[in-house]
Chain A
Amino acid sequence: MTGHADVIRVALPAHLRTLARVQGEVELQVPGRVTQCAVLDALEARYPMLRGTIRDQRTGKRRAFIRFFACEEDLSHQQPDAPLPEAVAVGAEPYLIVGAMAGG
């Protein structure tokens, strides 16, 4: 999964779609290996207003009430530089950024 030019599909929660002023999924070109970190880097480069809303700007640590899903799996606890599933890397499945259900 290196050097490909597939479009990565990213689904944002509603508040972040509003903030980024997008509707529906975001499509990103991700250079190099398709990892969670690379996808988030590309997302924040294109939509700088999202910096700090998904992960800490300095440490890269995921915010507590954010989850990352893809292909019906919870990837939230995987290493940021671990490769994403092939289906995400080729754009067949979206990478889901989810606001956790919380608040009672």
Chain B
Amino acid sequence: MMINNNLNPEYINYLDYKGKYTGIRAWLYSTDHKRIGLMYLYAITTFFSIGAIMGILMRIELIAPGPTIMGPQTYNGIFTVHGIIMIFMVVIPGLSVVFGNLFMPILIGARDVAFPRLNLFAFYVYLTGCALAILSQVLRHGPPDTGWTFYAPYSLNTGTNVIAATGAAFILGFSSILTGLNFIVTIHRMRAPGMTFFRMPLFVWAIYATAWIQLLATPIIGITLLMLIIERLFNIGFFEPALGGDPVLFQHLFWIYSHPAVYIMILPAMGVISEIIPTFSQKRIYGYRAIAFSSLAIAGVGYLIWGHHMFTSGMSLVAIWSFSLFTFIVAIPSAVKVFSWVGTMYKGSIDLKPPMLYALSFIFLFMIGGFSGLVLGGLATDVQVHDTAFVVAHFHYIVFGGMGYAFFGAIHYWFPKIYGKMYKIKRANIAWALTFIGFNLLYFPQFILGMQGMPRRYFDYLPQFQTGQVISTIGSFIFISGFILMVYNLIMGYRKGEQATANPWKGTTLEWTIPSPPSLENFEEIPVITEDPYNYK
């Protein structure tokens, strides 16, 4: 492993580097993957906060039956925009564009991605999509009230700003495609000498599998949303029953993308966990190839199971049976990863620093989400809980508990490398505890409420559900306070934190061999790789 000389007088880190442009333009015009990653980080954090505020508003509304702070139309608009922001602007781009950009090139020993200008372009396409999504909230006909799933025929007939919102999703999809394309070529063409595929860190495997899904699945939602827009404008009849169309066909097309999309969300998250656990167990990862192949398996099988979102829509018996079977099969590679992580920790030297706390929470929360997924994947049980709060709990455990916690883990893990500073560990731990307690109070009651019959996307409910709703709302406030403390801690770490060394966590992958923060081009000389990653003695 080559260690770059931090005392090189020519060393200027990428944050301070002064090139052709100055001021804000030095960032907005930068094609450096690290700066682009940070710009995405700030954008995504902002949008997450807005989406979270929408969530809090929903929780306040649901604290009592009947209208509390808003009427039904507003509520419908709020859960729709909450979904649009969280799904299309936060969790789908999420880990890939932030940490994939910041670290994938470094982890393979490259100076940047294959197409740096395309990378910056994709960022601007992303921002354009976000702007249009925000516009959809304020334009003349009012925010869309269809849910982020835009099901026909309602999405064809509602008077609200559906075209703006679906147009935004279309543009955001294009950004996703370009990023995926860039990452695939980068990983194929720019690995350092000696870095075979099986010497790549597992986060890179995860980014690779994800990039393929971004590339191949996103066009389907693209064309579907285009069909929706054209149908709204010209009544072409694809999804309108009165014109001979089939609304279920919309659902098929929608979920052919949106199911693989959840693997876009979770695969990089699992990749992060695969990085954190070996470092904080100071032990080589158990089952490297199993984890690598399981990423590909999840990506592959994930394309075949979209119908499990549609069990009650009227599909044929053969179809629902097949989808159910394959849905159970896709759980297997995920389980393989969990076994491997636990196997890594066994007899390791566990260090419960904040990244590890988040990684362990991930395993716990993801498993709960995963098991509840099996309830939903079983046909008879799904009929009972489809479109109830049970589903809401399931996907929040998986996406938020899974991808979200992996994101928090990643930022705490790589923070010292990104900024060259360290945050306060104790405060990070308290923030973690608050989010963890809050999260479970927020979502666990919803499993129970769902089984008892509480529908999702309803702004009103029967009085018997109120206790669960109140607990859930209290949980949301506890969570938010933890989140605010977390962000505060990180910001203070950046502004006033201790200087961080090149390798504060004693990791073995390439990012820990270069200075904190890295120089503009990452490596003085491209390293030559002679051994596996996670090479703990």
| Interaction A to B | no
